[in-house]
Amino acid sequence: MSSGKRFPGKVVIVTASTDGIGLAIAKRLAEDGAHVMISSRTQKNVDAAVDQLRSEGLSVSGIVCHVAKEEHRRKLIEETSESVWDKIFEVNVKATFLLVKEIAPYIEKRGGGSIVLVSSIGGFVFGGLLGAYGTSKTAMFGLTKALVPQCAGMNIRINCIAPGLIRTRFSEALWKDPDVLADTLKSVPMNRIGEPSECAGVVSFLCSEDASYVTGETIVIAGGQSSRL
Ligand SMILES: NC(=O)c1ccc[n+]([C@@H]2O[C@H](COP(=O)([O-])OP(=O)(O)OC[C@H]3O[C@@H](n4cnc5c(N)ncnc54)[C@H](OP(=O)(O)O)[C@@H]3O)[C@@H](O)[C@H]2O)c1
Protein backbone atom coordinates (compact mmCIF):
# COMPACT_ATOMS: atom_id res chain seq x y z
CA MET A 1 0.00 0.00 0.00
CA SER A 2 1.34 3.46 -0.83
CA SER A 3 2.40 5.60 2.12
CA GLY A 4 1.17 8.65 0.21
CA LYS A 5 4.69 10.08 0.40
CA ARG A 6 6.80 10.96 -2.62
CA PHE A 7 10.02 9.15 -1.71
CA PRO A 8 9.40 6.06 0.43
CA GLY A 9 12.50 3.83 0.55
CA LYS A 10 14.61 6.40 -1.30
CA VAL A 11 17.96 7.75 -0.17
CA VAL A 12 18.74 11.40 -0.82
CA ILE A 13 22.10 13.13 -0.47
CA VAL A 14 21.92 16.90 0.04
CA THR A 15 25.28 18.67 0.09
CA ALA A 16 25.70 21.98 1.95
CA SER A 17 22.61 21.12 3.96
CA THR A 18 23.17 22.23 7.55
CA ASP A 19 21.64 25.68 7.01
CA GLY A 20 19.62 27.80 4.61
CA ILE A 21 18.33 26.38 1.32
CA GLY A 22 20.12 23.02 1.69
CA LEU A 23 18.67 22.42 5.15
CA ALA A 24 15.17 23.29 3.91
CA ILE A 25 15.59 20.85 1.00
CA ALA A 26 16.84 18.11 3.36
CA LYS A 27 13.88 18.66 5.71
CA ARG A 28 11.33 18.67 2.89
CA LEU A 29 12.65 15.50 1.21
CA ALA A 30 12.78 13.72 4.60
CA GLU A 31 9.18 14.81 5.25
CA ASP A 32 8.40 13.35 1.81
CA GLY A 33 9.62 9.96 3.07
CA ALA A 34 13.26 9.78 1.99
CA HIS A 35 16.21 8.92 4.21
CA VAL A 36 18.39 12.01 3.88
CA MET A 37 22.15 12.31 4.22
CA ILE A 38 23.04 15.73 5.60
CA SER A 39 26.47 17.26 5.02
CA SER A 40 28.55 20.40 5.23
CA ARG A 41 32.11 21.40 6.10
CA THR A 42 31.64 21.40 9.89
CA GLN A 43 30.96 18.47 12.23
CA LYS A 44 29.28 20.77 14.76
CA ASN A 45 26.85 22.07 12.12
CA VAL A 46 26.20 18.55 10.82
CA ASP A 47 25.42 17.33 14.36
CA ALA A 48 23.09 20.27 15.01
CA ALA A 49 21.16 19.76 11.76
CA VAL A 50 20.89 15.99 12.29
CA ASP A 51 19.66 16.51 15.88
CA GLN A 52 17.13 19.11 14.74
CA LEU A 53 15.64 16.92 11.99
CA ARG A 54 15.69 13.75 14.11
CA SER A 55 13.83 15.61 16.87
CA GLU A 56 11.12 16.21 14.27
CA GLY A 57 10.91 12.44 13.70
CA LEU A 58 12.70 12.54 10.35
CA SER A 59 15.07 9.87 9.05
CA VAL A 60 18.48 11.48 8.55
CA SER A 61 22.18 10.75 8.86
CA GLY A 62 25.09 13.15 8.72
CA ILE A 63 28.64 13.31 7.47
CA VAL A 64 31.24 16.04 7.02
CA CYS A 65 31.79 16.78 3.34
CA HIS A 66 33.52 19.82 1.91
CA VAL A 67 32.26 19.70 -1.65
CA ALA A 68 35.53 20.91 -3.10
CA LYS A 69 37.68 18.45 -1.12
CA GLU A 70 39.63 21.09 0.65
CA GLU A 71 42.68 18.90 1.10
CA HIS A 72 43.14 18.97 -2.67
CA ARG A 73 42.66 22.65 -2.95
CA ARG A 74 45.38 25.24 -3.00
CA LYS A 75 45.27 27.15 0.26
CA LEU A 76 44.42 30.78 -0.26
CA ILE A 77 47.18 32.79 1.35
CA GLU A 78 46.22 36.09 -0.17
CA GLU A 79 42.75 36.86 -1.40
CA THR A 80 43.87 38.08 -4.80
CA SER A 81 41.12 38.44 -7.34
CA GLU A 82 42.49 35.50 -9.32
CA SER A 83 42.47 33.26 -6.25
CA VAL A 84 38.89 34.30 -5.43
CA TRP A 85 37.88 33.52 -9.01
CA ASP A 86 39.53 30.09 -8.79
CA LYS A 87 37.92 29.34 -5.43
CA ILE A 88 34.42 30.27 -6.61
CA PHE A 89 34.74 28.19 -9.79
CA GLU A 90 36.27 25.29 -7.88
CA VAL A 91 33.36 25.11 -5.44
CA ASN A 92 30.45 26.02 -7.72
CA VAL A 93 31.43 24.43 -11.03
CA LYS A 94 34.26 21.91 -10.71
CA ALA A 95 33.11 20.37 -7.42
CA THR A 96 29.55 20.16 -8.76
CA PHE A 97 30.78 18.27 -11.82
CA LEU A 98 32.96 15.96 -9.71
CA LEU A 99 30.10 15.25 -7.29
CA VAL A 100 27.83 14.28 -10.19
CA LYS A 101 30.59 12.12 -11.69
CA GLU A 102 31.18 10.36 -8.37
CA ILE A 103 27.55 9.81 -7.41
CA ALA A 104 26.02 8.93 -10.82
CA PRO A 105 27.28 5.29 -10.93
CA TYR A 106 25.73 4.65 -7.50
CA ILE A 107 22.40 6.14 -8.58
CA GLU A 108 22.52 4.05 -11.77
CA LYS A 109 23.15 0.89 -9.72
CA ARG A 110 19.96 1.63 -7.76
CA GLY A 111 17.96 1.81 -11.00
CA GLY A 112 18.20 5.52 -11.68
CA GLY A 113 17.19 8.72 -9.96
CA SER A 114 17.39 12.47 -10.00
CA ILE A 115 20.01 15.17 -9.42
CA VAL A 116 19.22 18.83 -8.73
CA LEU A 117 21.93 21.50 -8.87
CA VAL A 118 21.54 24.75 -6.90
CA SER A 119 22.54 27.69 -9.10
CA SER A 120 21.27 31.28 -8.69
CA ILE A 121 19.36 34.13 -10.31
CA GLY A 122 22.84 35.65 -10.20
CA GLY A 123 23.63 33.45 -13.20
CA PHE A 124 21.11 35.53 -15.21
CA VAL A 125 21.37 38.96 -13.61
CA PHE A 126 24.79 40.47 -13.11
CA GLY A 127 25.46 42.94 -10.29
CA GLY A 128 28.68 44.93 -10.00
CA LEU A 129 30.51 42.95 -7.33
CA LEU A 130 29.27 39.49 -8.20
CA GLY A 131 31.00 38.87 -11.54
CA ALA A 132 32.84 35.65 -10.68
CA TYR A 133 29.92 34.32 -8.61
CA GLY A 134 27.39 35.11 -11.36
CA THR A 135 29.56 33.67 -14.10
CA SER A 136 30.06 30.45 -12.12
CA LYS A 137 26.29 30.19 -11.65
CA THR A 138 25.75 30.72 -15.41
CA ALA A 139 28.22 27.89 -15.97
CA MET A 140 26.00 25.68 -13.83
CA PHE A 141 23.12 26.17 -16.31
CA GLY A 142 25.48 24.95 -19.05
CA LEU A 143 26.74 22.11 -16.88
CA THR A 144 23.16 20.95 -16.31
CA LYS A 145 22.53 20.83 -20.07
CA ALA A 146 25.92 19.24 -20.82
CA LEU A 147 25.31 16.37 -18.40
CA VAL A 148 21.85 15.47 -19.74
CA PRO A 149 22.84 12.89 -22.40
CA GLN A 150 25.17 10.87 -20.20
CA CYS A 151 22.81 11.02 -17.25
CA ALA A 152 19.88 9.96 -19.46
CA GLY A 153 21.89 6.88 -20.46
CA MET A 154 22.10 6.02 -16.75
CA ASN A 155 18.37 6.64 -16.16
CA ILE A 156 19.19 9.80 -14.23
CA ARG A 157 17.42 13.13 -14.70
CA ILE A 158 19.44 16.25 -13.94
CA ASN A 159 17.88 19.65 -13.36
CA CYS A 160 18.78 22.92 -11.72
CA ILE A 161 17.17 25.59 -9.58
CA ALA A 162 18.02 29.29 -9.70
CA PRO A 163 16.84 30.93 -6.48
CA GLY A 164 16.43 34.68 -6.25
CA LEU A 165 16.75 36.47 -2.93
CA ILE A 166 16.09 33.82 -0.26
CA ARG A 167 16.16 34.55 3.48
CA THR A 168 19.36 32.78 4.64
CA ARG A 169 22.59 33.72 6.41
CA PHE A 170 24.40 33.75 3.05
CA SER A 171 22.21 36.57 1.71
CA GLU A 172 21.91 38.58 4.96
CA ALA A 173 23.69 41.59 3.48
CA LEU A 174 20.80 41.98 1.02
CA TRP A 175 17.87 41.77 3.44
CA LYS A 176 18.83 42.50 7.07
CA ASP A 177 18.85 46.26 6.61
CA PRO A 178 15.30 47.37 5.61
CA ASP A 179 16.64 50.09 3.28
CA VAL A 180 18.90 47.64 1.46
CA LEU A 181 16.02 45.16 1.23
CA ALA A 182 13.67 47.81 -0.20
CA ASP A 183 16.30 48.64 -2.81
CA THR A 184 16.86 44.95 -3.69
CA LEU A 185 13.12 44.34 -4.02
CA LYS A 186 12.79 47.01 -6.71
CA SER A 187 13.69 44.28 -9.22
CA VAL A 188 11.37 41.67 -7.68
CA PRO A 189 7.76 41.96 -8.98
CA MET A 190 6.36 39.94 -6.05
CA ASN A 191 7.99 42.55 -3.80
CA ARG A 192 9.09 40.14 -1.09
CA ILE A 193 11.99 37.93 -0.14
CA GLY A 194 11.66 34.15 -0.66
CA GLU A 195 11.91 31.50 2.06
CA PRO A 196 14.17 28.40 1.88
CA SER A 197 11.07 26.16 1.96
CA GLU A 198 9.95 27.74 -1.32
CA CYS A 199 13.08 26.25 -2.94
CA ALA A 200 12.61 22.90 -1.20
CA GLY A 201 9.14 22.32 -2.70
CA VAL A 202 10.49 22.79 -6.23
CA VAL A 203 13.35 20.36 -5.53
CA SER A 204 10.86 17.80 -4.19
CA PHE A 205 8.86 18.15 -7.42
CA LEU A 206 11.96 17.81 -9.61
CA CYS A 207 13.04 14.65 -7.75
CA SER A 208 9.57 13.10 -7.95
CA GLU A 209 7.78 11.02 -10.57
CA ASP A 210 5.68 14.12 -11.35
CA ALA A 211 8.78 15.40 -13.15
CA SER A 212 9.60 12.06 -14.83
CA TYR A 213 10.02 13.63 -18.32
CA VAL A 214 11.86 16.76 -17.16
CA THR A 215 15.62 16.91 -17.54
CA GLY A 216 18.17 19.59 -18.36
CA GLU A 217 15.90 22.38 -17.12
CA THR A 218 16.50 25.28 -14.78
CA ILE A 219 13.57 26.46 -12.68
CA VAL A 220 13.86 30.04 -11.47
CA ILE A 221 12.48 30.69 -7.96
CA ALA A 222 12.73 34.44 -7.80
CA GLY A 223 9.36 36.15 -7.40
CA GLY A 224 9.24 37.17 -11.06
CA GLN A 225 12.72 38.66 -11.25
CA SER A 226 14.06 38.89 -14.80
CA SER A 227 15.83 35.70 -15.80
CA ARG A 228 17.08 35.92 -19.36
CA LEU A 229 20.72 35.99 -20.34
N1 LIG B 1 20.21 32.78 -0.18
C2 LIG B 1 20.06 33.28 -1.39
O3 LIG B 1 19.48 34.38 -1.58
C4 LIG B 1 20.54 32.48 -2.58
C5 LIG B 1 20.13 32.93 -3.85
C6 LIG B 1 20.56 32.22 -4.96
C7 LIG B 1 21.36 31.10 -4.84
N8 LIG B 1 21.76 30.71 -3.61
C9 LIG B 1 22.64 29.53 -3.54
O10 LIG B 1 22.12 28.59 -2.62
C11 LIG B 1 23.19 27.82 -2.09
C12 LIG B 1 23.02 27.76 -0.58
O13 LIG B 1 23.01 29.07 -0.08
P14 LIG B 1 22.24 29.46 1.28
O15 LIG B 1 21.69 30.81 1.08
O16 LIG B 1 21.35 28.35 1.68
O17 LIG B 1 23.50 29.59 2.26
P18 LIG B 1 23.64 29.36 3.85
O19 LIG B 1 22.35 29.58 4.55
O20 LIG B 1 24.83 30.18 4.22
O21 LIG B 1 24.00 27.80 3.95
C22 LIG B 1 25.13 27.32 3.34
C23 LIG B 1 25.30 25.85 3.70
O24 LIG B 1 26.36 25.33 2.90
C25 LIG B 1 27.37 24.74 3.75
N26 LIG B 1 28.62 24.93 2.99
C27 LIG B 1 29.21 26.09 2.63
N28 LIG B 1 30.31 25.84 1.89
C29 LIG B 1 30.41 24.50 1.75
C30 LIG B 1 31.32 23.64 1.11
N31 LIG B 1 32.38 24.10 0.43
N32 LIG B 1 31.10 22.30 1.17
C33 LIG B 1 30.04 21.82 1.82
N34 LIG B 1 29.13 22.57 2.47
C35 LIG B 1 29.32 23.91 2.43
C36 LIG B 1 27.23 25.49 5.07
O37 LIG B 1 27.64 24.73 6.22
P38 LIG B 1 29.17 24.76 6.74
O39 LIG B 1 29.52 26.17 6.99
O40 LIG B 1 29.09 23.91 7.99
O41 LIG B 1 29.99 24.12 5.66
C42 LIG B 1 25.68 25.61 5.14
O43 LIG B 1 25.08 24.40 5.55
C44 LIG B 1 24.49 28.46 -2.58
O45 LIG B 1 24.98 27.71 -3.68
C46 LIG B 1 24.05 29.85 -3.07
O47 LIG B 1 24.86 30.32 -4.12
C48 LIG B 1 21.38 31.37 -2.46
**In this structure, are 192 and 144 located in the same domain?**
yes
Atom 39 in ligand 1: residue holding the nearest Cα: 41
Annotated active-site residue in 58, 133, 165, 196: 133
Q: What average pLDDT does the segment 202-221 reach?
A: 98
103 domain-assigned: yes
**In this structure, are 51 and 94 located in the same domain?**
no
Among the listed residues 219, 65, 69, the one whose alpha carbon sits nearest the alpha carbon of residue 144 = 219
pLDDT number for residue 85: 84
**pTM exceeding 0.85:** yes
Provide the domain limits for residue 24.
9-65
**In this structure, are 41 and 143 located in the same domain?**
no
Residue 106 annotated in active site: no
Share of the chain above pLDDT 70, in %: 91
**In this structure, are 59 and 83 located in the same domain?**
no
**In this structure, are 93 and 48 located in the same domain?**
no
**In this structure, are 101 and 51 located in the same domain?**
no
Q: Give the H or E element holding residue 45.
A: helix 43-55
CB of residue 113 inside a 6 A radius of ligand 1: no
Query: Around 18, how many Cα atoms within 13 Å sit in the side-chain half-sphere?
Result: 19
Residue 225 has pLDDT above 80, yes or no: yes
CB of residue 13 inside a 6 A radius of ligand 1: no
Find the 75 Cα to ligand 1 centroid distance in Å: 20
Angle at CA of residue 81, ends 80 and 83, nearest 5°: 65
CB neighbour list of residue 80: distance below 8 Å, 6 or more residues apart: none
Report the amino acid identity of residue 27: K
Angle of the 20-31 helix axis to the 43-55 helix axis, nearest 10 = 30
pLDDT number for residue 210: 97
pLDDT tens-digit series, residues 64-117 = 898 885 443 333 334 446 778 898 999 999 999 999 999 999 999 999 999 999
**In this structure, are 38 and 96 located in the same domain?**
no
Q: What average pLDDT does the segment 113-128 reach?
A: 91
CB of residue 19 inside a 6 A radius of ligand 1: yes
Share of the chain above pLDDT 90, in %: 83
**In this structure, are 98 and 127 located in the same domain?**
yes
pLDDT number for residue 128: 58
Among the listed residues 49, 4, 11, the one whose alpha carbon sits nearest the alpha carbon of residue 196 = 49
Q: CATH no. for residue 155?
A: 3.40.50.720
Higher pLDDT, 25 or 66: 25
Find the 2 Cα to ligand 1 centroid distance in Å: 34
pLDDT tens-digit series, residues 129-166 = 568 899 999 999 999 999 999 999 999 999 999 999 99
Atom 30 in ligand 1: residue holding the nearest Cα: 66
Looking at the 3D structure of the chain, how many domains does it have? 2
116 domain-assigned: yes
Query: Around 19, how many Cα atoms within 13 Å sit in the side-chain half-sphere?
Result: 11
pLDDT number for residue 216: 98
Ligand 1 mutation target, pool 13, 17, 18, 21, most atoms within 8 A of CB: 21
117 domain-assigned: yes
CA pair distance 153, 115, nearest whole angstrom = 14
Find the 153 Cα to ligand 1 centroid distance in Å: 30
Report the amino acid identity of residue 91: V
